[in-house]
Every structure is written in C-alpha cells, then in structure tokens.
Amino acid sequence: MTRLSRPRRLSAGLAATALVLTTLGAATAASAVPAPTAAAAEPGPLMNYVVNTKASPGHVRKVENAVKAAGGTVLVSYGQIGVVVAQSTNPDFKTALKSGRDGREVQSVGATRTAAVTDGTTATSAAAPAGAASELETAATPVPDPRESEQWDLTQIKADQAHAITDGSRKVLVGINDSGVDDAHPDLAPNFDAKDSVNCTTNGVPDRTVGAWRPTTSDHGTHVAGTVAAARNGVGIVGVAPGVRIASVKVVNDSGFIYPEYAICGFIWSAERHMDVTNHSYFIDPYEYWCKDGADQGAVQEAVRRAVAYATDSGVLAVAAAGNSNYDLANKTTDTGSPNDTTPVTRTIDNNCLNMPTELPHVITVAAFQKDGTRAAFSNFGLNKIDVTAPGRTILSTLPGGGYGTKSGTSMASPHVAGVAALMKSAHPWWGPLQIESALRKQADDVACPAVIDARCTGTTANNAFAGEGLVDALDAVKRGW
C-alpha cells in the first residue's frame, strides 16, 4: 500500500503474556494455560503462533497440552474455529509441538510476526459500563449539521437523500475494527456502545478495561468512526448512518501494527457481541500478502479465514479497504514491502497470496474514488477483486479531542460502505450478511472505465477492475422494495 489507509506512523500496520482473559461468550471457550512445563535449553526470542486444529473442545484441549509440552503458553483458544494462539521462547517450538503425544492434533502452525513480541506484560479485565443507546428508530426528517454542506462524499453516494427516509436504526451495531475510537467526541458519544467495545492489542487477548478501546497514538479509527456514524445532533458533521450504534474494536497497537492474533480477536469478538457490520481499514501485518504455500503464512491465512467465516456465519458483514498500493489484486507478481516488522525483501507472489482481510471470502472489498468520479490514483484495483467503490479522497470526519479533519485512502472509502450496509440492515432487519453483500453489489451505480483508455481497467461498465460493481448507493439501500 502507499500507506494512506494504514493507521501506523501511519505506515504499515493498521504488548507479555496476558493470562487474565475476558469471556467472549458461551461459545468462545477462551482459556489460559499455566506456565509451560518444558522449555528450550537455549531460549530464543519471544514469539506468538497460531495453531490450527479441528473445531471441537476435545481437539483444542489436546493442542493446548501439546503447546505446554513444547515449552509454550496458551494465550487464548477459540474452540469454535479450532484456533489456539500460543507464545514461546523455544526456537524449535513448531517442531516440538508436532512431535509430542498430542501433536497429531495439530493441522498447521505458524508464527504471527517476524519480530519478537513486545506486547505488554500485564492485562486487566473489567466490564465496561453499559451503553445508553435506545432501541428507537431515528427521525426521518434530517436537520443539517453545521459542516454537512462540506461533505461532498455523502452527496456522491446519495446518503443525504437516504437520510430523508431514515438515519438508521438503534438496533444496528457497527464495529470499528481499527486504532481505537474517541468515545467522548461530541459527534460520536451519542452513538457509542461501550459495553460492546474491546481492546485486542495485547497478544490478541480481549481486554475490556474501561477505556482500553480508546486511541493512544493514532486518530485513524476516530476518523473512520465519524464517517460511519457521526450523530445528527447539531454538531460538526453527519455520518453515513447517523442513527446506528458503533463499538470500538481496537486491533491496531501503539506502533501501528495489526498482527493476526489482534485481527482474529476482533472478528471473534464481533461475532460473539452480535454486531451487524464491521469495518476493517487495514491489512494484517507483517505481510501485505500472506501466501498459502508459505509455512507460517499458510497457517495464519487459514486461521484468519476461519475467524472471518465464523463471523459471517454469526451474522456479521465485514467491509474492508482494498489498499493503497495502486496494485492489481487480480494479477499479483511481486511484493517489496514485507515483512514490515523487520526487514522487507522483494519476493515473487501469485494470486494464492492474499491481502487480508480484504481478499477473504464474503468480505466486501472497497476501492476509493474522488470527487470528480474517477479512481483515486493510490487505490488498489482488480477485476473480480473489487466489489464496490466509494469516496476516499479528502474526506472530512471526526478526530480525537473533539476535532475534525480530512484524510485520504481506501481506509476512508470502506467506512462509507459500512455505513450504507448499516442503513441497509436498518431498512431490512431480517437480512443476513450474504443478502446485504448481494444487495450492495446490485444496488451500486455502474461506473465505466475512464474515457482515456487505461489498459488496467478491464471488464465492463457493469463490473470492472477499477470500480467493481460500481459506486455504492445509500438511497437504494433504504428502499424496502428490494
């Protein structure tokens, strides 16, 4: 990516073992295991791993035992998807894991990063106060907020017209999976749901300490949140879906990295908290493209795929930024920026290497357009890779501390689509993720390839490499005739 959609530095991403865990719900089966009984004679760097097994409590317990026997510690287990997140200083951990009595239960194992773990040494768990959101529908007669006239992006996707019908339902919850949300911002506080917010950036272990979901080094998540659901309250701006609720799912650490265990925690959390839509304006570090045939990368790709599938099956629609590398996702050849947590190398890749989560099944991939209706030069593209497009250049939204500012990137395009999906769910509460996914594509307004021939824009007016199925349409989203 050109990094515009990345919260870190803001560049590539977008700290101890936590043994006090928060229960995600009856189905989560998150657990901590006592200190390992075996250790490598010559300890190596502290590393985190995902271990994949069959999705059953029995298989997961055996893998937890195998982790201990190999000199590791279980950080969190997800029995519902058969994924265990472990930590170890044993440099031969992967080999030792598979060689023990319970090692036959291990389907695959992979390190989640190339740099040593520096996540915090402690974590506390405290229930956040319940949000005060009502269950009432918002009024259908919009009253402009002071800076709404500056929001050309809302007009471009017809959100202003949609608001004449509805601002969205309080029953709809959108997860902002990002760098944290300033819940005290006057345009966000009315719609913020504290009880469903979490911080996943300590080894992927959910931390519900009050305020842990807030931003510390990045304003990215707060900006994204405003585009989705800044309230219609006579202050500042208005979001695409100003009547829905939002929760902060913090998956970006203070250095700006989004490691796989953070993202997995976020997807499982969204499923267990019954979110309707989640926005993901990031790619998972440290690889911009995770290759299926790579030993570590393949295991991580499978673990994240399972988490996304579980969230989808649980009723959550994931919307993600396409990326800012001006790269053809349908014709991958090289990757020069990975791994970004140590020393990047130039490597040959192909279409089995995925930008995650945006290229995973049933994740809505969003490209960025600009005010004149053309593709933003930084936006990734690709025939049958891009689902829809949305405004993504010079977008006005909320910033921490009660401020406002503009940002550019596919990070800014994605929350427009998340907002439209929230409006769609409000108008059609019986729809699940697959129905919303289909409707987003069908309702999008066709965008032709540029008049000046660009060989990269393959496909047709109805579906092409630059715009996918077209510009997302908020007005059609709230019409009940679909």
The CA R_g of the chain, rounded to the nearest whole Å, is 21
Of 390, 365, 370, 397, nearest in space to 219 by CA: 397
19 is written with which tokens?
């043994």
Contacts of 411 (CB under 8 A, 6+ apart): 4, 5, 6, 7, 14, 220, 224, 281, 282, 321, 324, 392
Evaluate whether 241 touches 205 at the Cβ level (below 8 Å): no
Evaluate whether 407 touches 239 at the Cβ level (below 8 Å): no
Evaluate whether 446 touches 452 at the Cβ level (below 8 Å): no
Pairing type for strands 47-52 and 83-88 reads antiparallel
Signed CA dihedral, 456, 459, 461, 463: sign only: negative
Evaluate whether 253 touches 266 at the Cβ level (below 8 Å): no
Evaluate whether 436 touches 443 at the Cβ level (below 8 Å): no
Of 376, 4, 426, nearest in space to 153 by CA: 376
- Find the catalytic residue in 248, 314, 411, 426: 411
Helix axes 410-427, 220-229, angle to 10 degrees: 30
Helix axes 433-443, 410-427, angle to 10 degrees: 110
Evaluate whether 174 touches 188 at the Cβ level (below 8 Å): no
Give the CA angle between residues 416, 417, 423 to the nearest 5°. 95
The verdict on whether 185 is a catalytic residue reads no
The verdict on whether 108 is a catalytic residue reads no
239 is written with which tokens?
């979001």
- Find the catalytic residue in 102, 178, 187, 335: 178
Of 310, 229, 225, 221, nearest in space to 272 by CA: 310
- Find the catalytic residue in 220, 223, 280, 416: 220
Of 410, 393, 438, 419, nearest in space to 162 by CA: 419
The verdict on whether 414 is a catalytic residue reads no
- Could you list the active site residues? 178, 220, 411
